[in-house]
Amino acid sequence: MSTFRSWAQLRECVLASTRVFLADLGHGLLAVGHNSLAVLGLAVLSATFVVGGRADVRGTLEAQALDWLLQRQEARSTDAGDLFDHGDLSAVDRATAVDPSELNRQQSVVANWLSRRYRVAPEPVARLVQESWSLGRRVGLEPTLILAIVAVESSFNPFAQSSVGAQGLMQVMTRVHDDKYEAFGGNHAAFDPLTNLRVGVQVLKDCIATAGSVEGGLRHYVGAANLSDDGGYAFKVMAEQEFMTQLLQGRSVPPTARLPVPPVATAQTAPAVEPELPPAQAPAGKAAVKPAPVKAAKTAKIAGAGSTGAQVALVQ
């Protein structure tokens, strides 16, 4: 019995000693933690006063923090999943495109032909054809004439630019007609297909009104109003329009149909095979009617637009 009591007392003593040790250890750690927190808080407070008193140090720290935040934002935005998780649902509203099935029969025939001829998607071409019909009704111009100019000028490339600065689908001289782009937000609107089309049609209408005829208006449009030769520009536009007119009449025109040779080019080749007469026998004014080089007329584009497509085709 005495042995049992001694073991029980020993166990109680051990437990009591353990409780005292743990209690002392906890109080000690708490005291150290309080002191450490106090020291840390004092250090932070001191650093805050130092940084707050020096604008250069504060600016450096703010810049570093901003850079870190921007890097983190960029890293998240470049994640492959985020490219689709944060898509722009309004993008389809900004696209210049329409389903060709929404066009009427005439518009659909022209749109499909132009799409195959110039190797561009049918949806954006369909939208341009639709807009050309609408503009043609409003200003009294044939929509096929508008589309023919687009074809000759830019081959339906809305971002085309000529060497003299004509831009967009209808190659409007943006710096000359910058006032017409003010209503659309500025000159950069020249690369919006529908805006360029509307401005180009307005310029074309003014040119035709000034010249009094479509052919004369085309010469004004390309900047050859005061030149003896427009390099075949008007002929080429009207020939392209004729293709579309034939389509609307139910005729078959292959997309690869080639434009006929302008009469100017044929006339210039005649003197090369004509026997040269002695000066005494030459008709009066022979030298005066000698045709001027075609290239001189091709580079002059100072009026409504510049024909990027026409320049390339005619120089060859």
pLDDT at res. 3? 60
Mean pLDDT over residues 199-226, rounded? Answer: 95
pLDDT at res. 93? 82
Strands 166-167 and 172-173: antiparallel
Residue 141 confidence (pLDDT) above 90: yes
pLDDT at res. 125? 97
Highest mean pLDDT among 1-5, 64-68, 195-199, 282-286: 195-199
What percent of the chain is predicted at pLDDT more than 90? 48
Mean pLDDT over residues 146-150, rounded? Answer: 98
Mean pLDDT over residues 87-102, rounded? Answer: 85
Q: Greater confidence, 221 or 3?
A: 221
CATH 1.10.530 domain residues, the chain: 100-269+290-315
pLDDT at res. 76? 64
Integer-rounded Cα Rg, in Å, for the chain is 40
Residue 308 confidence (pLDDT) above 60: no
Mean pLDDT of the chain: 78
Prediction pTM value: 0.61
122 pLDDT band (50/70/90 cuts)?
Answer: very high
173 pLDDT band (50/70/90 cuts)?
Answer: very high
Residue 54 confidence (pLDDT) above 80: no
Residue 35 confidence (pLDDT) above 60: yes
pLDDT at res. 23? 80
pLDDT at res. 19? 82
pLDDT in tens, 70-92: 887 776 655 545 556 556 777 88
CATH architecture of 100-269+290-315: Orthogonal Bundle (1.10)
